A = this chain, B = another copy of it.
């Protein structure tokens, strides 16, 4: 990356302009620019995708082309046929296809700058650590891992390697969320008092890895509830001090033989903001949050869809939509990571950020299983 200089980066893109206005405090400075020393076209970071499931193939791969500073460079998969087909589709050299055994040899591929881990949760740790050992920067999907211990090992490996780690919390870079954070911090609706979130969808495919605890680490909480947890933290800007929870795992439904169907949890924040979150694998599509203040509220519904996020702001009884042009969420989070690498900045959705959510989720499970409110320190 030595050929990338620190000049205007995101601000040159439409993306950058909107983000700079909305999320200056989140994205910090975005004033770097990626260019070849030659002054010609901009250098793009080569991404290797590890895991070729629906999220990688239907969301990440089609959208990386919309990024300013990222491009597909390699594929890592246990399915050679699938990988070969995708490589052809996206013009990737066959030499840049890896399997899980020879994955470590990616260290010898100078075309790969970043490895994006899109595997089942229980595989995040190993493939992240192996990726760091291969000298690459890592993006890893949420939840970061299946335990806080694993998260810490991943963070430590990144530090030892001197490489960056960003967790795939795309909502931390989504424009409606950023505008909501701005409104709440500016107290434009008075004091924030409550965050409520409901995140769920209906998962009927019994073979899905998400329903197998050895792969997922947990049920709806780990997979989709985490969005509500993370939103509670970024909307308040605080860390919770205690958690109470209830959980439901039906005995007669084979889908939920090893993981919970649904979970509700309460958080308490130092300022006195309370928070109530629900999640389920049996909701008709439902991703929403509401931030209730003394003089109004913000409603975000749908809150975490890949496109078409909508929010409304109500102030003193007057209700209006939050009218902001959408950005490509996937391109944005990848470009933000590129910015962090180029300019040696710590990603907002860092490993430490991912670890915080996993720690709290451990406390949620503990609270639900013990029937005790868990104090967080």
- Asked whether, in the complex, the Cβ of B248 is within 8 Å of the Cβ of A280, the reply is no
- Asked whether, in the complex, the Cβ of B266 is within 8 Å of the Cβ of A272, the reply is no
CB distance from A369 to the nearest CB of B (A): 10
- Asked whether, in the complex, the Cβ of B193 is within 8 Å of the Cβ of A276, the reply is no
Count copies of this chain in the complex. Answer: 2
- Asked whether, in the complex, the Cβ of A294 is within 8 Å of the Cβ of B372, the reply is no
Residues of B contacting A295 in the complex (Cβ-Cβ under 8 angstroms): 284
A314 within 8 A of B: yes
A283 within 8 A of B: yes
A335 within 8 A of B: no
If over half of A's interface residues share one DSSP class (helix, strand or loop), that class is named, otherwise mixed; here it is strand
Choose, from A154-162, A194-202, A348-356, the stretch at the interface. A194-202
The docked-state distance in angstroms from the alpha carbon of A303 to that of B111 is 58
- Asked whether, in the complex, the Cβ of B272 is within 8 Å of the Cβ of A283, the reply is no
Choose, from A125-133, A139-147, A285-293, the stretch at the interface. A285-293
A275 within 8 A of B: yes
The one of B194, B242, B244, B277 in contact with A283, judged by C-beta atoms closer than 8 angstroms, is: B194
CB distance from A193 to the nearest CB of B (A): 5
Nearest B-chain residue to A286, judged by Cβ? B292
Query: In residues 233-261 of chain A, which contact B (Cβ within 8 Å)?
Result: 242, 244-246, 248, 250, 261
CB distance from A375 to the nearest CB of B (A): 8
Known: A261-B272, A264-B274, A372-B371. A191 touches B282 (CB 8 A): yes
The docked-state distance in angstroms from the alpha carbon of A244 to that of B198 is 18
A262 within 8 A of B: yes
The docked-state distance in angstroms from the alpha carbon of A273 to that of B62 is 38
- Asked whether, in the complex, the Cβ of B294 is within 8 Å of the Cβ of A202, the reply is yes
- Asked whether, in the complex, the Cβ of B264 is within 8 Å of the Cβ of A193, the reply is no
* Other 12 A-B pairs with CB < 8 A, given A244-B245, A246-B267: A194-B278, A244-B266, A244-B367, A261-B272, A262-B274, A263-B274, A264-B266, A264-B274, A264-B275, A276-B277, A282-B294, A285-B317
Give A contacts to B, CB under 8 Å.
189-191, 193-194, 196, 198, 200, 202, 242, 244-246, 248, 250, 261-268, 272, 274-278, 280, 282-286, 290, 292-297, 314, 316-317, 367, 371-373
The 5 closest A-B pairs by CB, nearest first: A371-B373, A244-B244, A276-B276, A246-B266, A264-B266
